[in-house]
Amino acid sequence: MKRYVAPSLLAADFGNLREDILMVNNSEADYFHCDIMDGVFVPNLSFGFPVLEHIKKYAEKPLDVHLMTIEPEKYIRRYKKAGADILTVHLEACDHLHRVVQEIKSEGMMAGVSLNPHTSVRLLENILAHVDMILIMSVNPGYGGQTFIEHSYSKIATLREMCDNVNPGILIEVDGGVDLSNAGRLYETGVNILVAGTAVFKANDPVKMISDLKKA
């Protein structure tokens, strides 16, 4: 199975964002993970369209945009315009998830669905066939630098089994508390994309850390 790494820019130095983007360009990373928080769905605010557009300007890899917002359907076209390649919404934030997924795809983006730690992967049964990616949150969303929640492994294993039947090509991404201590087991459990914020940007050598995570 292919292994991908998506550094989360939430942990980057926002005063020198361009430098950090160039570092990711010159590394083995596969995506830029961009966390959008609205202060309502999660108890924090991050950044919005103007910053996303600047990231797009310098990024030489696809933008993996993770929306931690209510009513994500309001801005789908604007995220596309700002440069999103993958757009992920939370299942908990969508009354009409199937429609939202269709709209994301009709704008030419890959569609992802994310689950909070308490949400069962069984709830994905009727959407799995329609999405490109599932993002399993392995911390409660809102902040970087939190501790990985151990029950994420069993969720990922169950999800991978469910996907094998319905949509084997789906990408499974895990986000929160990912570092070298859990990366190998996560890949073995069925993850394709590791998101890593603190582990990458607080490392002494972020380029090496990205490479080590891929080989974990």
User: What are the residues binding ligand DX5 (CB under 6 A)?
Assistant: 8, 10-11, 33, 35, 66, 139, 141-146, 175-178, 195-199
**Spatial contact of 53 and 82, defined as CB atoms under 8 Å apart:** yes
Residue 6 beta carbon to Zn ion: minimum distance, rounded to whole angstroms: 9
Does the annotation mark 175 as catalytic? yes
Per the residue annotation, which of 30, 64, 132, 175 is the catalytic one? 175
CB of 128 to ligand DX5, least distance (A): 21
What are the phi and psi torsion angles at 49 (to 5°)?
-55, -45
Q: What residue is closest to Zn ion based on CB?
A: 66
**What would the DSSP string read from start to end of 142-207?**
T-SSPPPPTTHHHHHHHHHHHHHHH-TT-EEEEESS--TTTHHHHHHHT-SEEEESHHHHTSSSHH
Dmax over CA atoms of the chain, in Å, equals 46
Q: Which of 20, 35, 64, 179 is catalytic?
A: 35
Residue 199 beta carbon to ligand DX5: minimum distance, rounded to whole angstroms: 6
Q: Clarify whether 38 is annotated catalytic.
A: no
Residue of minimal Cβ distance to ligand DX5:
197
Residues forming the active site: 35, 175
